[in-house]
């Protein structure tokens, strides 16, 4: 598996440039007029490029949001959500050799017990025109010697507003695996001192193929206290992930009321 050193070097170059401009901004008062004029011209050219990037990025994110609203969902759907790291660029874009619990963006975290921390987790651009999300996430695993590995995704507080045991939470994912492995989706609902868990196996996960999965979590099978909801999060659990890679090209959650018969 390639570590893609070019991307890493490019990111480091951008980080160094950002730090350099921040340092120059703090030392303007000590510069001569000629130096300030030269750097001002450079700053204006850089700002124009950054504005073009942000404008095009916002346009792509708007397309993603429109596609989200247009998705066919079960009747009675009253909430839908896609993590922000799939709609827009985050900083930093990736983490290597992460400690367990390290966060990437404001919603995702990686959990493991691998002593060597032989992992890379990074945001990537989705390559296909048919991808609804402009960005995805890639997890690379090398000589993994731990017993568990998962990516956790925190759901926003809106997911808990009006949530009852009559609801069904629906998860749609698109994953690409480098080699076959079992992937589980576990919904965790924290209410008061208790946490209820619902586990689903994502089926049909074959190597090299893009697999679109839809699973549902029926909250009737929980004992959650609707008045004491504190946190909801999703774990994607990878079984025997050694020397493999996983790309998450879509992750979309919604909820609807269970049909009464």
Domain positions in the chain: 5-63, 71-257
The pLDDT assigned to 242 comes to: 84
Block residue for tokens 């001569």:
32
User: For residues 199 and 173, what is the distance between their CA atoms, to the nearest angstrom?
Assistant: 15
H or E, element range at 157: none
The pLDDT assigned to 1 comes to: 39
Yes or no: domain 71-257 corresponds to CATH 1.10.760.10? no
What's the average model confidence in pLDDT over 69-79? 75
The pLDDT assigned to 232 comes to: 96
90 to 49, 55, 163: CA distances (angstroms): 18, 16, 29
| Nearest CA-CA partner of 229 in 161, 171, 167, 168 | 161
User: For residues 77 and 172, what is the distance between their CA atoms, to the nearest angstrom?
Assistant: 14
- Check: pTM over 0.85? Answer yes or no: no
Percentage of the chain with pLDDT > 90? 39
233: number of Cβ within 10 Å: 17
Which neighbouring-strand residues pair with 171?
215, 253
Lowest mean pLDDT across 26-40, 119-133, 197-211 = 197-211
pLDDT band at 66 (very low <50, low <70, confident <90, very high): low
Contacts of 38 (CB under 8 A, 6+ apart): none
pLDDT band at 50 (very low <50, low <70, confident <90, very high): confident
The pLDDT assigned to 213 comes to: 86
Block residue for tokens 């020397």:
243
The pLDDT assigned to 212 comes to: 82
Lowest mean pLDDT across 51-60, 197-206, 210-219, 230-239 = 51-60
pLDDT at 104 over 80: yes
The pLDDT assigned to 92 comes to: 83
pLDDT at 48 over 90: no
pLDDT at 133 over 90: no
Contact 160, 227 (CB under 8 A): no
Mean pLDDT of the chain: 84
Who wins on pLDDT, 73 or 45? Answer: 45
pLDDT at 78 over 80: yes
């Amino acid at each position: 598996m390639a570590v893609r050193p070019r991307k890493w070097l490019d990111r480091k170059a951008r980080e160094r440039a950002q730090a350099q401009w921040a340092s120059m901004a703090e030392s303007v008062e000590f510069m001569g007029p000629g130096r300030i004029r030269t750097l001002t011209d450079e700053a204006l050219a850089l700002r124009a490029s950054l504005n073009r990037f942000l404008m095009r990025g916002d346009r792509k994110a708007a397309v993603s949001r429109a596609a989200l609203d247009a998705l066919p969902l079960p009747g009675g759907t009253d909430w839908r959500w896609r993590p922000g790291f799939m709609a827009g660029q985050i900083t930093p874009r990736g983490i290597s050799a992460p400690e367990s619990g390290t966060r990437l963006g404001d919603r995702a975290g990686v959990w493991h017990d691998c002593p060597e921390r032989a992992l890379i987790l990074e945001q990537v651009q989705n390559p296909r025109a048919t991808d609804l999300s402009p960005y995805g996430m890639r997890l690379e695993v090398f000589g993994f010697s731990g017993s568990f590995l998962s990516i956790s995704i925190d759901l926003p507080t809106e997911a808990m507003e009006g949530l009852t045991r009559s609801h069904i939470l629906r998860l749609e994912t698109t994953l690409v695996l480098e080699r076959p492995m079992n992937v589980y989706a576990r919904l965790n609902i924290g209410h008061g001192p208790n946490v209820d868990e619902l586990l689903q196996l994502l089926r049909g996960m074959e190597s090299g193929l893009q697999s679109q999965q839809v699973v549902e979590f029926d909250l009737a099978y929980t004992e959650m206290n609707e008045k004491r909801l504190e946190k909801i999060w999703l774990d994607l659990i990878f079984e025997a992930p050694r020397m493999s890679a996983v790309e998450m090209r879509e992750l979309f959650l919604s909820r609807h009321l269970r049909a009464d018969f």
